[in-house]
Chains A and B, each alone.
Chain A
Amino acid sequence: MSSTSYTIPSIVRASEQLTKEFAKLADKRAILRSKNLEALYAELRTLPNEEKATFGKELNALKSDINSWLNDADESAEKQAPIDVTAPQDINAAAPQLLPGETGTKHPLMTELEYMSDIAYRMGFAIEQSRLIDDDYHMFESLNFPEGHPARDDYDTFMTTEGLIAPAHTSTMQNRVLKKYAGNLEKGEPIAVLVPDRVFRNEDLDVTHEHTFYQYEGVFVGEGITVGNLIATLRTLLSEYFGQDLKAKLQPFYFPFTEPSFEFAIERPAALRKGDTEADMWLELLGCGMIHPNVLSAAGIDPVKYSGFAWGGGIERLVMMKYGIEDIRHFESGKLDFLRQFS
Chain B
Amino acid sequence: MKVSLKLANQYSNVDFTAVSVDEILRRIGAQLGAVEEVIDYASRFKGVVIAKVVQCEKHPDADKLSVCLVDDGGVAQGVDRNADGLVQVVCGAPNVRAGITVAWLPPGSTVPSSVDKDPFVLGARELRGIVSNGMLASAMELGISEDHDGILVISDPGATPGSSLLNLFGLNDVIIDCENKMFTHRPDCFGVLGVARELAGITGQAFVSPDWYSQSAVSTVSPGGTLTLTGKNDITHKVPRFMVQVVEGVTMGPSSTQIQSWLSRLGSRPINNIVDATNFYMHLTAQPTHAFDYDKVKALCEDPENVVIFPRMAVEGEKIDLLNGKTITLTAEDIVIATDKQAIALGGVMGGAATEVDANTKNIIVECANFDMYTIRRTSMRHGLFTDAVTRFNKGQSPLQNAIVLQKLVADICEQTNAKAGVQYDSAPEESSFVLEPVAVSVDFVNARLGSSLTAEDMQTLLTNVEFLVEVSEGNLVVTPPFWRKDIEIVEDIVEEIGRLHGYDKLPIVLPMRTTAPAAKNPMLELKSALRSTLARAGANEIVTYSFVSGKLLEDASQNTSEAYQLGNALSPELQYYRLTLTPSLASKVYQNIRAGYDQFALFEIGKTHIKGQGVNDEGLPIENEVFSLVYAANDKKVVNGTGAAYFDAKQYLDFVARSLGLTLDFDPIDKDPAYEITKPYDIERSALVTDRSTGNYIGIVGEFKNSVRKKLKLPTHSAGFELMLSPILESITGTKRAYKPLARFPHIVQDITFKTAKEQQFGDLFEVVIEIAQQLAEGRGYVATVESRDIYHKEHSPQKHVTLRLDVHHPDRTLTTDEVTKFVDAIVTAVEQKLDVKRD
Contacts and interface: CB of A to CB of B under 8 A. Distances in A.
A50 interface: no
B743 interface: no
Contact of A64 (B374, B562, B703): B562
B195 to A, nearest CB: 13
A334 B589 contact: yes
Interface stretch (B313-321, B322-330, B471-479, B651-659): B651-659
B98 interface: no
Interface stretch (B56-64, B109-117, B300-308, B488-496): B488-496
A198 B544 CA distance: 11
A101 B539 CA distance: 4
B542 A110 contact: yes
B601 A106 contact: no
B444 to A, nearest CB: 11
B436 interface: no
Contacts of A104: 535-541
A164 B624 CA distance: 13
B160 interface: no
B31 A64 contact: no
Given A104-B535, A307-B449, A151 B184 contact: yes
B669 A132 contact: no
B688 interface: yes
Contacts of A91: 644, 792-794, 801
B706 interface: yes
A126 B522 contact: yes
Contacts of A267: none
B514 A229 contact: no
A63 B826 CA distance: 62
Nearest to B706: A75
Interface in B788-812: 789, 791-794, 801
Interface string B4-43: 0000000000000000000000100111111000000000
Interface stretch (B129-137, B406-414, B504-512): B504-512
A285 B567 CA distance: 30
Interface in B571-601: 571, 575, 578, 586, 588-589, 592-593, 596, 598, 600-601
Given A89-B792, A104-B539, A307-B449, A252 B624 contact: no
Interface string B483-523: 00000001011011001100011011111101101111110
Contacts of A89: 644, 648, 789, 791-792
B586 to A, nearest CB: 8
A114 B529 contact: yes
B763 A228 contact: no
A126 B818 CA distance: 59
B525 A94 contact: no
A205 to B, nearest CB: 8
A148 B372 CA distance: 11
Q: Is the interface of B mostly helix, strand, loop or mixed?
A: mixed
B183 interface: yes
A301 B536 CA distance: 43
A125 B520 CA distance: 8
Nearest to B578: A133
B766 to A, nearest CB: 9
B431 interface: no
Contact of B184 (A150, A190, A335): A150
Contact of A80 (B395, B600, B656, B685): B685
A105 interface: yes
Contacts of A110: 532, 542, 544, 606
B683 interface: yes
A16 interface: no
Given A107-B542, A133-B622, A251-B30, A117 B547 contact: no
Interface of B: 26, 29-34, 181-186, 373-375, 377-378, 381, 394-395, 448-452, 490, 492-493, 495-496, 499-500, 504-505, 507-512, 514-515, 517-522, 524-525, 529, 532-533, 535-548, 555, 558, 560-562, 565-571, 575, 578, 586, 588-589, 592-593, 596, 598, 600-603, 606, 608, 610, 619-622, 624, 642-645, 647-649, 651-653, 655-656, 667-669, 683, 685-688, 702-704, 706-709, 711, 762-765, 767, 789, 791-794, 801
Leading 10 A-B pairs by shortest Cβ distance? A90-B644, A86-B764, A99-B539, A93-B644, A226-B451, A228-B451, A334-B589, A148-B374, A87-B763, A85-B688
15 contacts: A71-B709, A86-B762, A87-B764, A150-B373, A150-B394, A160-B565, A211-B571, A251-B33, A252-B32, A252-B504, A260-B495, A260-B504, A331-B544, A332-B546, A334-B589
